[in-house]
Amino acid sequence: MGPGDHAGVRSADGRLEALLSGGGGARRMASAAALELRLLAPLAAPAVVVYMLIIVMSSATQIFCGQLGNVQLAAASLGNNGIQVFAYGLMLGMGSAVETLCGQAYGAEKYEMLGVYLQRSTVLLMATGVPLAAMYAFSEPILLLLGQSPEIAGAAAEFAYGLIPQIFAYAANFPIQKFLQAQSIVAPSAYILTASMALHVAMSWVAVYRLGLGLLGASLTLSLTWWVLVAGQFAYIVLSPRCRETWTGFTWAAFADLAGFAKLSAASAVMLALEVWYFQVLILLAGMLPDPQIALDSLTVW
């Protein structure tokens, strides 16, 4: 973010503070509310688009899997919402520590530290992805141990194998998103994700219908799309003049104080991951019902 951007933000903040500190009055409060809305709308609207498209992207994968049969749809539901959600919640929660630290550094005008925090979080999340990948690799016996149907557990495990690369895409994506959001840069992520979504639908059609790769092809395509999203956002960071002050290249400082960073990330993960994991419990319980195919298929539609 260049000097002009910083000046614009400070000017808008100054106008808002002047309105709020000038006493009461309906006209003054209405003006302050209108100004606040103008400041927030360019940030909130792209953020809403990003989170909606993330949900739609996973739903599109399940729709393609549903064309393969009821068992495959149930397996995709269990794999996507019962297994993948665990990694998603953990990575999102841990990656949110970047938002706190980058926000503090940005406010203190220590712009170079934003890039350090981005890299440090990515290193930590990549390391966290290793045991998660092992969990995915052994997902079939884990699901059987949790009381899931053998047929659906086997198919869900096949789907989960293709999601292993997605774990490490999460590890890169969430720190990148928080790094950009701390600088009030949200629209580029929405544009990149929109293009990735269109590419995802096309690749899923080829993988499922033309190549006949089944569940594994559908989940691998989802993983590939996430890596396309990561590559697009990182290219923006490297090439955009808006990130010239905050991204100064790779540094060994990313490996410093990983233990302290891990503690902060773990605390952040506990708060946010629990909000995501409750739905995972619902999916696992549905898989234990007398007719798990119908139950899991119904939750997919819901």
Residue 129 counted as domain residue = yes
Q: What is the pLDDT of residue 3?
A: 43
Q: Which two tokens stand for residue 34?
A: 């209108």
- Asked if 227 and 175 count as a contact pair (C-beta separation under 8 A), the reply is no
| Position 195 in a domain | yes
**Residue pLDDT, tens place only, 178-187:** 999 999 999 9
Assess whether pLDDT exceeds 70 at residue 202. yes
Q: At what angle do helices 97-107 and 112-137 cross, to 10 degrees?
A: 180
Q: Which domain holds residue 69?
A: 44-301
Tens-place pLDDT, residues 106-127: 989 999 999 999 999 999 999 9
Q: Is residue 119 part of a domain?
A: yes
Q: How confident is the model at residue 8 (pLDDT cuts 50, 70, 90)?
A: very low
Mean pLDDT value of segment 211-224: 96
Question: Average pLDDT in the 37-50 region?
Answer: 84
Average pLDDT, the chain: 86
Give domain status of residue 65, yes or no.
Answer: yes
Which is more confident, 280 or 91? 91
CA distance 209 to 213: 8
pLDDT tier for residue 242 given thresholds of 50, 70 and 90: very high
pTM of the complete model = 0.86
Model pLDDT, residue 272: 72
Report if residue 132 sits inside a domain. Answer: yes
Tell me, yes or no, whether 53 lies in a domain: yes
Please indicate whether residue 267 or residue 249 has the higher confidence score (pLDDT).
249
Residue 4, pLDDT above cutoff 50: no
pLDDT at position 191: 96
**pLDDT (0 to 100) of residue 134:** 96
Residue 11 belongs to a domain:
no
Residue 170 has pLDDT above 90, yes or no: yes
Judge whether residue 199 has pLDDT over 80: yes
Residues 6+ apart with CB under 8 A from 211: 217
Q: How many structural domains compose the chain? A: 1
CA separation for the pair 61, 118 (Å, rounded): 29
**What angle, rounded to 10 degrees, do the helices at 258-286 and 97-107 form?**
140
In the chain, % of residues over pLDDT 90: 53
- Range with the poorest average pLDDT among 83-97, 201-215, 266-280: 266-280
**Cα gap 214→72, rounded to integer Å:** 9
Is 8 domain-assigned? no
State pLDDT tens for residues 282-300.
Answer: 777 777 777 777 767 666 6
- pLDDT at residue 19 tops 70: no
